[in-house]
Amino acid sequence: MADGEGDEGTMAQRVRVGTDITAIPDVIASIERFGDRYLDRLFTEHERASCAGPPEVAAAGLAARFAAKEAVVKVLRPAGARPAWRSIEVRRAPSGACDLALTGEAARLASEAGVTDLGVSLTHEGNIAVAVVVALHDDPPPCG
């Protein structure tokens, strides 16, 4: 639709963007120090399986996923405590493309914000991993 054309009965879509950068050496250090306790607290089994490989490769993938989780929190804008890390999952398709799946508190926050769709882009190079999350959400109904 261009120039405001469209059905007056539909809500306008808005965009929210969140981004985060994570130092891969910090993830490596956390894995070395806390092991499975760290991994189980932050990452789902799917995320861990998607990042299998030598420690440096695995840490880069996990750092990118952690950055994505932080970027989702920025998009959801929780007023209180942030949702559990595992309620935000980066799902990797066989093609290598990634999507986001929200459950629990993260899904509730998304619903309350009117989020209708999420997109994610991950990258890592050298010692850093970056994620960008874009969310479409409905405008709230007018007050009054």
Ordered mean pLDDT values, 10 residues apiece, the chain (144 residues)? 45 86 98 96 97 94 98 95 96 94 97 94 97 88 54
For residue 132, being part of any structural domain is answered with yes
By the 10 Å C-beta count (0-12 exposed, 13-18 middle, 19+ buried), 32 is classed as: exposed
Query: Which pLDDT score, from 0 to 100, does residue 120 have?
Result: 98
Residue 129, domain member (yes or no): yes
Q: How many domains does the structure of the chain reveal?
A: 1
- Cα dist from 106 to 81, 95, 98, 138, whole Å: 11, 26, 18, 17
**What's the pLDDT score for residue 13?**
78
Which of 122, 84, 71, 119 lies closest to 99 in space, CA to CA?
119
DSSP state of 87: G
CATH of the domain at 85: 3.90.470.20
What is residue 90's predicted lDDT score, i.e. its pLDDT?
Answer: 98
| 60 belongs to a structural domain | yes
State the CB neighbour count (10 A cutoff) for residue 1.
Answer: 7
6 lies in a domain?
no
**pLDDT for the residue numbered 140:** 61
Domain of residue 131 covers 13-138
Q: Specify if 3 maps to a domain.
A: no
What is the distance between the alpha carbons of residues 25 and 7, in angstroms, rounded to a whole number? Answer: 51
